[in-house]
Amino acid sequence: MKQFFWSILFSILLVNGNCQQITSDQFREDFNYFWSTIKTDYCYWHKKKTNWDTVRLMYLNDVDTVTGRTGFVMLLEKMFYELYDHHASLNTNTPESQRLVPSGADVWAEYINNKAIITEMRKNFNAEKSGLRAGMEVIAFNDIPIDKAVQPFLPRSLKLKDTEAKNYALRVLLAGKHSEPRKITVVYNTRKMDFYPDQDGNIDDHRFESSIESKIIGSNVGYIRINNCLWDNGLIKLFDSVLNGLMKTRSLILDLRETPSGGNTTVARAIIGRFINKEGFYQKHELPAEQMATGIKRSWVEIVAPRPVVYSRPAVILVNHWTGSVSEGMVIGFDAFERVTTIGTKMAALNGAIYSYELPNTKIGFSFPVEKLYHVNGTPRELFTPDIVVDLTNQKINEDRVLETAQRYLNKNNK
């Protein structure tokens, strides 16, 4: 243990030492690499009102004021705000960084009729435990009026106004800084109330007891919940074991409401493969950067093959705004096979598939969408809507309307 401690300490000192040796020219080189890589490879410019050329001019002078890694990270974070894309982020942060959405967030909100409205709470996380509920209007954050509090996270380079940019900024704000407790002031039924989500602990410290949960509920209905580990190939064997124990259930609920950090398609295809009896397509990919470079369009469709033993009885999937990235791909894949009914709220709507890069001098990693992803019917993945949409307004902490809706659906349609 002592050797491990000194090894970690040495690594930290080495990294800090390397960062202190970075020159102004090297920071500028990394800045240009970051800007140009996003300009050529980012695949959702058609959805954005961002003027990326203006972004370079806006932030270029700031590079010369950077004196260390922390300042440079903060600068790059501001540039990413100009994209207002929750699927674009650095692979590092500082204590002053905002938590990532959706993986580090516990409140989902958007502007409705020019009001900042909470639309969903992350079950069993800080914000819900503090008493916040869907349907409340946020009027202040840490005692700053909401319209002023979102300003640091709003893009400054927009050619036209975009409501989604305001929604992005609102969610980033409400996720909060890693280092700072949140105070969220709301109005509900004409009553003003203050909530303190981080009073009993930092959301960063939340841990799940297990990767996967399972049980039998109601009248022999199997239930499987995956806890944010779709990146782990070891989940495949564990999922198989759990599903094998539920093969005699009359129907199954697969809960993907706690999978915000994404994963890989190997795990996704493995899970889908347990529910289908023939090979087929599950999602379409498109790589605009190649077309931009060569003039030749590149797209392809990914295949899933069945794996033994197939669960062939009725199934539903539960989704919400913390169903993100690869889990969204799983959902549209299941839908393409017409294998399940999807129940819940809209998903995280994360754009496409991300690629990861590293800056040449500071070695800071960053990721953003490079591939567009589609349902096999041609619908962009981020526009998918559940078969049954559940309104969560005023949902109580001990209430699970999505699960209850699923149980009623299965009881009605699987007699």
Q: Tell me, yes or no, if the two domains 107-205 and 212-347+384-413 fold the same way.
A: no
Assess contact for 372 and 100: CB atoms under 8 A. Answer: no
- At 380, phi and psi to the nearest 5? -55, 135
Q: Report the predicted TM-score, pTM, of the whole model to 2 decimal places.
A: 0.93
Using DSSP, state whether 356 is helix, strand or coil. Answer: strand
Question: Is the pLDDT assigned to residue 8 strictly greater than 80?
Answer: no
Can you tell me the distance from the alpha carbon of 92 to that of 179, in angstroms, rounded to the nearest whole number? 15
Residue 367 CA to residue 357 CA, distance in Å, equals: 6
Burial string for 6-24 (b: 16+ CB within 10 Å, else e) reads: eeeeeeeeeeeeebeebee
Question: Which residues pair with residue 225 across a beta bridge?
Answer: 213, 255
Q: Where are the domains of the chain?
A: 17-97+354-361, 107-205, 212-347+384-413
So what CATH class is 107-205? mainly beta
- Distance separating alpha carbons of residues 185 and 144, to the nearest angstrom: 9
Inform me whether the pLDDT recorded for 9 exceeds 50: no
Q: What is the pLDDT of residues 356-413, one digit of tens each?
A: 999 999 999 999 999 999 999 999 999 999 999 999 999 999 999 999 999 999 999 8
Of 222, 306, 235, 242, which is closest to residue 264 (Cα–Cα)? 235
Query: To which H or E segment does residue 322 belong?
Result: none
The residue written with tokens 């202040």 in the block is 140
Taking the C-alpha atoms of residue 120 and residue 110, their distance in angstroms, rounded to an integer, is 10
pLDDT band for 339, please (50, 70, 90 cuts): very high
Nearest to 83 by CA among 172, 148, 145, 177: 172
Helix (H, G, I), strand (E, B) or coil at 371: strand
* Residue 19 predicted with pLDDT over 80: no
Q: Tell me the residue length of the chain.
A: 415
Topology of domain 212-347+384-413 in CATH is 2-enoyl-CoA Hydratase; Chain A, domain 1 (3.90.226)
1 band by pLDDT with thresholds 50, 70 and 90 = very low
Residue 414's pLDDT is 75
| Structure tokens, 297 | 């369009």
pLDDT for the residue numbered 6: 38
Mean pLDDT score across all residues of the chain:
94
The predicted structure's pLDDT at residue 415: 62
Taking residues 306-322, report their average pLDDT. 97
| pLDDT digit string, tens, across residues 346-357 | 999 999 999 999
Tell me how far apart the terminal alpha carbons of the chain are, to the nearest angstrom.
58
Predicted confidence (pLDDT) at residue 130 exceeds the cutoff of 90:
yes
Tens of pLDDT along 171-211? Answer: 999 999 999 999 999 999 999 999 999 998 888 888 899 99
